[in-house]
Amino acid sequence: MWLSILVPVGNGGSTETYTWTQSLDDTTIYIDLPDGTRSKDLDCKITSSHIRVALKNTETPLLDGELPEKVRSDESLWSIESNQTLQISLEKIKKTWWASALKGDPEIDTNQVDSTRSIQEYDSATQMAIRKAMFDQQQQRLSQPTSDVQMIDAMMANARKAANSPI
């Protein structure tokens, strides 16, 4: 079966029945619901490798398929948004870009996803290292001392001020 490769929108794509977006950590699927649909009208089952969404008392599901990678089903959730859209958030076990939300559906070109991450997505130690590297790059562009040189200069100045300093 030949699948056309789509340019990702929101790092995801769109099919006849749903749209989806993703980050390295999670995938979110959006399904338009009939007006007046409430959560108690839905049967939503998420396992580590499969998802099925159906309106209760109907035979045809709104969504039914195998996931391309495993998810944490106990950390995945769904909700109905005010615009009658079902939002399903799936937490990925393996931090990777998916080519499709369901196996067999149209695929996106994962080489074209926006893989940049916001600095706030990192832990505090990594954020500090990134900020230090950015500061040092800026200082080098301006022909100014880097943070390491500034620290050494400050230590030398303190050593000069110390009593009985040989410097």
**Distance between CA 115 and CA 112 in Å, rounded?**
9
Alpha helices in the chain (DSSP H): 124-141, 147-161
Reported as a single tens digit per residue, the pLDDT across 125-150 is: 877 887 888 788 888 888 999 888 88
C-alpha 57 chain-centroid distance: 35
Which pairs from 136-142 meet CB under 8 Å and 24+ separation? none
Q: Domains in the chain, please, with CATH?
A: 8-106 (2.60.40.790), 124-161 (no CATH)
Task: State the pLDDT at residue 92.
Answer: 96
Helix axes 124-141, 147-161, angle to 10 degrees: 90
User: Cα 95–105–91 angle (5° rounding)?
Assistant: 25
User: For 13-35, what is the mean pLDDT?
Assistant: 93
**Distance between CA 68 and CA 103 in Å, rounded?**
5
Task: For residue 89, give both structure tokens.
Answer: 């958030």
Would you say 102 and 51 are in contact if contact means Cβ atoms under 8 Å apart? yes
Reported as a single tens digit per residue, the pLDDT across 89-118 is: 999 999 999 999 999 999 988 888 776 666
